[in-house]
């Protein structure tokens, strides 16, 4: 049973545009929601993360929006650049020291 | 600071053969995870260690997979015998345990890409 649903599967965005990736979860015990970025041949790397006690978190060009009542969260990449081309995974975990449950990933391509 | 090290980076074996992967976590990280990432999917947990003890192995196919973390540092993951569906990238991650109430960021290694023919 997939506990974190991610969409879209792939995304093509023009340079300078906004990339938006959405995730939904079912388990109300989840308490931490990170986004990971993965380049080919590399392991995932933490990009930004949020707790459900806030509705938005921004770090540079990356913003997470969180809707606790809808059990949804999304990643917005502003001013998308070709270097942002990678696979993005949303994830969730119930507590600070438990395994992550990942979405299936979104392959982002930013074209000039 | 050195990251999580994994070896080998690539491995090709025939089905029914055995294979082992090695992981060296970031120094001082008490928690170690092994994830399986099948092509086109997100990583899925196989096993979690806290120091040298197993915390969660509920998703580990124990009839063919085994893992150990002797002395609470390095870890090895073994598959015996391998099946075609075991073709995947095996990722090791580690985190610095602070407390059960705080989030402890997981740092991932580059993974081992296994191909079973």
3-state helix, strand, coil in chain A (%, to 5): 5, 55, 45
Contact yes or no for B3/B92 (Cβ under 8 A): no
C-alpha distances in Å from residue A46, one per residue of B30, B35, B106: 19, 15, 8
**Chain A residues closer than 8 Å to B98 by CB:** 96
* Confidence tier at A102 by pLDDT (50, 70, 90): very high
pLDDT digits (tens, 9 = 90+) for A19-60: 999 999 999 999 999 999 999 999 999 999 998 889 999 999
Which residues have CB under 8 Å from B75's CB, separation 6+? B22, B23, B25, B32, B34, B49, B67, B68, B69, B92
* Confidence tier at B97 by pLDDT (50, 70, 90): confident
**Chain B residues closer than 8 Å to A99 by CB:** 33, 35, 45, 48, 56
CB-count burial class (<10 Å; 0-12, 13-18, 19+) for B34: buried
State the average pLDDT for chain A: 94
């Amino acid at each position: 049973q997939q506990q974190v649903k991610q969409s879209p599967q792939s995304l093509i965005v023009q340079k300078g545009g906004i990339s938006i990736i959405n995730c939904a979860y079912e388990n109300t015990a989840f308490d931490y929601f990170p986004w990971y970025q993965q380049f080919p041949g590399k392991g995932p790397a933490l990009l930004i993360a949020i707790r459900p006690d806030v509705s938005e978190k921004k770090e540079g060009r990356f913003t997470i929006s969180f809707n606790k009542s809808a059990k949804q969260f999304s990643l917005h990449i502003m001013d998308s650049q070709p270097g942002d081309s990678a696979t993005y995974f949303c994830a969730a975990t119930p507590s600070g020291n438990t395994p992550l449950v990942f979405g299936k990933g979104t392959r982002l391509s930013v074209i000039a | 600071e050195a990251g999580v090290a994994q070896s080998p980076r690539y491995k090709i074996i025939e089905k029914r053969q055995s294979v082992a992967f090695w992981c060296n976590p970031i120094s001082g990280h008490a928690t170690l995870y092994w994830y399986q990432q099948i092509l086109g999917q997100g990583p899925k947990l196989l096993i979690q260690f806290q120091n040298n003890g197993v915390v969660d192995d509920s998703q580990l196919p124990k009839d063919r997979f085994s893992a150990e973390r002797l002395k609470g540092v390095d870890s090895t993951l073994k598959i015996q015998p391998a099946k075609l569906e075991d073709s995947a990238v095996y990722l090791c991650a580690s985190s610095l345990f602070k407390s059960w109430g705080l989030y402890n960021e997981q740092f991932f290694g580059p993974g081992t890409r296994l191909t079973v023919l």
